[in-house]
């Protein structure tokens, strides 16, 4: 009961931080700037977008100050331009680690914003997908969705098929643990979602929140 109560309180705090807006957000940390850092730390991954992208701004959501850091992503805030390209992503972890991905100024320049909650008590990810502006895989990422244990969907719609409708749940329960990829001149060109198995949601999330 103590573990459950503690975790619920922790989750409520992070949820409040995310929902309350920028004033209560934690301090932005510098992330590493090499995709290989994330692929070495988290070998289970899915690639989306232009894998051969010439984008010059690489990212990996491991702290420069502590590349051995491990946690679970609790939510994403995604900024998209009028051209449907993803211009920036804010990444909040369950332990309050916080990164801003993309070029400088994306948070003030682009007003199309989507908040996608991911990890919470007893609610792991069952599946996810990322599509381009035409609703198909390939091309620069523009839309994404995450299916959860409780049948809910966290999604950012794009062109083509509506990504926010429920999809088929896979048999494996996952936690999203890192993002890596590249930004180019028009926005996000290549995205890699790194995950780990969520055998026991309570035990896993609580251990990362300590």
Number of domains in the chain: 1
What's the CA gap between 15 and 17, in Å, rounded? 5
* Mean pLDDT within 89-94: 95
Query: Of 77, 51, 17, 25, which Cα lies nearest the Cα of 180?
Result: 51
Give 68-133 as a DSSP string: T----EEEEEEEE-TTS-EEEEEEEETTS-EEEEESTTHHHH--EEEEEE--BTTB-EEEEEEE-T
pTM: 0.81
Mean pLDDT, the chain, integer? 79
- Do 180 and 194 form a contact (C-beta atoms < 8 A)? yes
**71 against 120, higher pLDDT:** 71
Query: Tens of pLDDT along 49-80?
Result: 877 777 789 999 999 999 999 999 999 999 98
Q: Which residues constitute the domain of residue 187?
A: 2-209
Residue 124: CATH number of its domain = 2.100.10.30
The residue with tokens 């926010």 is 164
Above 60 in pLDDT, residue 203?
A: no
Tracing tokens 């090499």 back to the chain, one arrives at: 34
């Amino acid at each position: 009961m103590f573990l459950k109560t503690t975790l619920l309180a922790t989750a409520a705090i992070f949820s409040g931080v995310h929902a309350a807006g920028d004033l209560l957000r934690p301090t932005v940390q510098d992330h590493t700037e090499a995709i290989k850092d994330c692929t070495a730390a988290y070998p289970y991954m899915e690639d989306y977008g232009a894998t051969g992208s010439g984008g010059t701004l690489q990212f990996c959501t491991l702290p420069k100050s502590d590349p051995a850091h491990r946690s679970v992503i609790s939510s994403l805030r995604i900024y998209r331009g009028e051209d449907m390209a993803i211009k920036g992503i804010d990444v909040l972890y369950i332990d309050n680690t916080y990164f801003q991905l993309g070029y400088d100024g994306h948070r003030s320049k682009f007003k199309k914003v989507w908040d996608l909650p991911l990890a919470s008590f007893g609610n792991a990810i069952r599946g996810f997908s990322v599509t381009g502006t035409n609703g198909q895989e390939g091309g620069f990422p523009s839309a994404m969705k995450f299916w959860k244990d409780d049948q809910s969907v966290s999604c950012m719609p794009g062109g083509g098929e509506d990504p926010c409708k429920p999809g088929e749940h896979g048999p494996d329960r996952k936690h999203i643990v890192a993002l890596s990829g590249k930004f180019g001149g028009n926005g996000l060109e290549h995205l890699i979602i790194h995950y780990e198995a969520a055998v026991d949601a309570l035990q896993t999330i609580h251990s990362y929140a300590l």
